[in-house]
Amino acid sequence: MLQSEKNTKKAKIIGKITSNNIALKNAKIELKDLNKVVYTDNSGNFIIDNIPKDVYVCKISKKGYEERGEIIDTVKSINVLNVDLKENQNSYENKDISDDLSNSNFYEIDGKFYYTKTFSLFNVSPDEVSKILHETFGENIKVSTLSKVNKLVVSAERDILENAISIIEDIDKNPKQVKITSQILDISNNLFEELGFDWVYKQNVESQERNSLTAMILNKAGANGVGSTVNIVRQFHNKSDVLSVGINLLEATNDLVVSSVPTLMIASGEEGEFKVTEEVVVGIKTHREDKKDRYSEPIFKEAGLIMKVKPFIKDNDYIILEISLELSDFKFKKNVLNLKDINSGTYNSEGGSKVGRGLTTKVRVKNGDTILLGGLKKSIQQNIESKIPILGDIPIISFFFKNTTKKNENSDMYIKLKVEIDE
Q: What is the pLDDT of residues 200-253, one digit of tens each?
A: 434 444 433 333 333 333 333 333 333 333 333 333 333 344 444 444 444 444
pLDDT of residue 226: 34
Q: Is the pLDDT of residue 127 over 70?
A: yes
Spell out a b/e string for 314-346, using b for 16 or more CB atoms within 10 Å of the CB, else e: eeeeebebebbbbbbbbbbbbbeeeeeebeebb
β partners of residue 117: 154
Which pLDDT band, with edges at 50, 70 and 90, does 15 fall under?
very high
333-348 mean pLDDT: 46
- Amino acid, single-letter form, for residue 172: D
pTM exceeding the 0.75 threshold for the entire prediction: no
DSSP conformation letters of 84-134: EPPBPTT--S---HHHHHHTSEEEEETTEEEEEEEEE-SSS-HHHHHHHHH
Among the ranges given (306-315, 340-349, 363-372), the one the predictor scored with the smallest mean pLDDT: 340-349
Q: What are phi and psi of 334, to 5 degrees?
A: -150, 165
β partners of residue 377: 412
β partners of residue 112: 109
Q: Over pLDDT 70: what percentage of the chain?
A: 61
| Neighbouring residues of 103: CB distance < 8 A, sequence distance ≥ 6 | none
pLDDT of residue 325: 82
- Amino acid, single-letter form, for residue 80: V
Other Cβ atoms closer than 10 A to 143:
20
Q: Is the pLDDT of residue 62 over 80?
A: yes
The burial of 361, by beta-carbon neighbours within 10 Å (0-12 exposed, 13-18 middle, 19 or more buried), is given as exposed
DSSP H or E stretch at residue 194: helix 191-195
| Residue 374 C-beta-side C-alpha neighbours within 13 Å | 18
Q: What is the pLDDT of residues 130-172, one digit of tens each?
A: 999 999 999 899 999 988 888 899 999 888 888 888 888 888 8
Give which of 259, 378, 382, 275 is closest to 328, Cα–Cα. 378
Report the DSSP pairing between strands 197-200 and 151-157: unpaired
Q: Is the pLDDT of residue 348 over 80?
A: no
Boundaries of every domain in the chain: 2-84, 97-171, 179-422
Distance, CA of 269 to CA of 177 (rounded, Å):
9
Q: Is the pLDDT of residue 299 over 80?
A: no
The more confidently predicted of residues 39 and 170 is: 39
Distance, CA of 24 to CA of 43 (rounded, Å):
7
62-86 mean pLDDT: 86
54-79 mean pLDDT: 85
Distance, CA of 232 to CA of 197 (rounded, Å):
12
Which pLDDT band, with edges at 50, 70 and 90, does 336 fall under?
very low
As a CATH number, domain 2-84 is 2.60.40.10
Distance, CA of 170 to CA of 335 (rounded, Å):
61
Highest mean pLDDT among 43-52, 68-77, 243-252: 43-52
CB distance 150 to 125 below 8 Å: yes
> Would you say the C-alpha torsion 124, 126, 127, 131 has a positive or negative sign?
positive
CATH number assigned to the domain with residue range 97-171, chosen from the 4 options 2.60.120.330, 3.40.605.10, 3.30.1370.120, 3.40.50.880: 3.30.1370.120
Q: Is the pLDDT of residue 254 over 60?
A: no
DSSP conformation letters of 316-352: GGEEEEEEEEEEEEEE-----S----TT----BTTB-
CB distance 303 to 327 below 8 Å: no
